[in-house]
Amino acid sequence: MITRKRLAAGVCALFAALSTGLAPTAAYAADEPDDGGAKPKVELVLDVSGSMRARDIDGKSRMAAAKQAFNEVLDATPEDVELGIRTLGATYRGDDRKTGCKDTEQLYPVGPLDRRDAKTAVATLSPTGFTPIGPALLKAADDLEGGEGSRRIVLISDGEDTCQPLDPCEVAREIAAKGVNLTVDTLGLVPNTKMRAQLSCIAEATGGTYTSIRHTDELTDRVGQLVDRAADPVVNPVAVEGADRCDAAPELKPGLYSDRAGFGQHRWYRVDVAPGEELRASVSVAADRAVNNDYGVLLRAVTKHDREIVRGSEAGDGRTDVLSTGLRYPKPDDSDSDSDETEKETVCLQVSHSFSAAASGASAKGKPGLPVELAVDVVDAPDGSSDVAAFGLGRGWWLLGALVLTGFVGGLLWGWISRWRVAVWRTN
């Protein structure tokens, strides 16, 4: 999965940017949630540490605002969403850090929602202990295992993790690297700079979102939106591992795929294209950690003999969350010619990027590689697709020529008429 950072935002930007025909659509219907194992799952993870006593949200405590928001969200949760609640820092009242950093428990199990039981469980909460965000995320990921539907963690916290060195941002990256289609969204209650940076990093590592919260209604609205979003039909990318050369690459059918590509690493995939068909492919690479400026993404289509057919590339300078590019390759229909070559052609897709790790710090880690999301579709080629190379305009090049000629002739006529009118004016 891609996440830009903000791989979820990153993935939407890819399809919007390529909506002119690069992104495939027909292969996705099978991924829509149905009954049984495809029900979406959501776990709300609530910080119940001592700092939640602070009374700075609409004149009441942060804990009271969270309880009110939870009650309203539970009332509005869609019937087809399996929802659970996990807490962190809710039970241990002592000062032993080792014990306090294990203080996370599932308050309400993920499954069909009994609103009354869930509300009763939330009502018992009282601000207590430490802030073990990392351990809570690991447990929450386990809570959501199983099934084929979307999975989402919504983390609500008012402070930084107090249980380092288990870095919650690294935990989120480990979760994303498993390719389990799990998104973590984070909400910061009255955030400071450090807390905002940590919660943003957690969300971005999994393609989720971060939201700053200062009012009760903001908390209610945002949590409700995220729960509703889990119930929407989604496209779950299929995890695939690209090869380091074409002849060893996996064969891809039309669909959406996720992979990881390390710094300086090329990933290869194969797609079969028959005469009269058009290959459309797009790729997005997300920067889920700090990277250096100056970067690019390249997607190449080549033959099995390494002859380049077409390429798409994009580059930038500065800070980015996700970079995308795409390509189209229409294979001419030779069925009416004297050629016997009517079999499918194996097209090799090469994905590479020039992101580079920051000079120092944990963010300089090369593993796991950056998230890659590859969309592939093979469709019937439009009429005249074999003429795409003519001025890059297909069969519409003649229209441009006609417009240019008309403009040229019109300019000459207007110039001649203007000179004639000036000459007449002078003689009079």
Cα separations in angstroms, 96 against 40, 112, 136, 191: 38, 36, 18, 26
Q: In whole angstroms, what is the distance from residue 107 CA to residue 45 CA? A: 9
Kindly report which listed range (58-72, 130-144, 305-319, 377-391) carries the lowest average pLDDT score.
377-391
CB of 10 within 8 A of CB of 321? yes
Average pLDDT over residues 14-42: 49
DSSP code for 52: G
Give the burial string for 208-234 (b: 16+ CB within 10 Å, else e): bbbbbbeebebbbbbbbebbebbbeeb
Per-residue confidence (pLDDT) for residue 34, from 0 to 100: 43
Stretch 160-182: mean pLDDT, rounded? Answer: 83
Q: Is pLDDT of 178 > 50?
A: yes
Which range is least confidently modeled, 192-196, 250-254, 365-369? Answer: 365-369
User: For 190-247, what is each residue's pLDDT tens digit?
Assistant: 988 889 889 988 988 888 888 889 899 999 998 998 898 887 766 667 889 999 999 9
Of 128-142, 171-185, 252-266, 392-406, which range is least confident?
392-406
Cα 269 to Cα 22, 240, 299, 347: the distances in Å are 17, 9, 11, 8
Q: Is 173 helix (H, G, I), strand (E, B) or coil?
A: helix
Q: What is the mean pLDDT of the chain?
A: 81
Q: What per-residue confidence (pLDDT) applies to 270?
A: 96
Between strands 345-353 and 295-302, the pairing is antiparallel
**Mean of pLDDT values over 119-143:** 93
235 three-state secondary structure = coil
pLDDT of residue 381: 72
Rounded to an integer, the average pLDDT of 270-281 is 91
Q: What is the pLDDT of residue 233?
A: 64
For 77-132, where are the alpha helices, taking DSSP H only? 97-100, 115-123
> Kind and range of the H or E element at 427?
helix 397-427
> What is the chain's alpha carbon radius of gyration, rounded to the nearest angstrom?
28
CB-based burial, 259-291: b 16+ in 10 Å, e otherwise:
bbbebebbbbbbbebebbbbbbbbbbbbbbbbb
Residue 33 has pLDDT above 80, yes or no: no
pLDDT of 43 reads 96
- Reported as a pLDDT band with limits 50, 70 and 90, residue 334 is low
Is residue 212 within 8 A of residue 196, CB to CB? The reply is: yes
The mean pLDDT value for 393-409 works out to: 66
Task: Compute the C-alpha angle 60/122/93, nearest 5°.
Answer: 80
For residue 115, the SS3 value is helix
The pTM of this model reads 0.54
Structural domains of the chain, with CATH? 33-231 (3.40.50.410), 238-384 (2.60.120.380)
Q: Is the pLDDT of residue 266 over 80?
A: yes
Identify the residue whose tokens are 């910061």.
Answer: 188
**DSSP conformation class of 28:** G
The answer to whether 62 and 52 are in contact (CB under 8 A) is yes
Q: Where are the alpha helices (DSSP H) in 108-215?
A: 115-123, 133-143, 168-177, 193-205
CB 64 within 8 A of CB 46: no
d(CA 199, CA 156): 9
Residue 268 CB contacts under 8 Å (≥ 6 apart), including other chains:
242, 243, 244, 245, 246, 248, 249, 348, 349, 350, 351
Got the DSSP string for 365-396?
---SPEEEEEEEEEEEPPTTGGGTTSTTSGGG
pLDDT above 90: percentage of residues in the chain: 39
The H or E element containing residue 157 is strand 151-157
Q: Which two tokens stand for residue 27?
A: 């292969």
Asked if the model's pLDDT at residue 351 lies above 80, the reply is yes
Dihedral angle of Cα 386, 391, 392, 394, to the nearest 10 degrees: -40
In the sheet with 255-261, reading across from the earlier edge strand, the strands are 238-239, 255-261, 370-380, 277-286, 322-330
Coil, strand, or helix at residue 219? helix
The strand pairing partners of 272, in sequence order, are 346
Best CA proximity match to 344, nearest among 283, 270, 242: 270
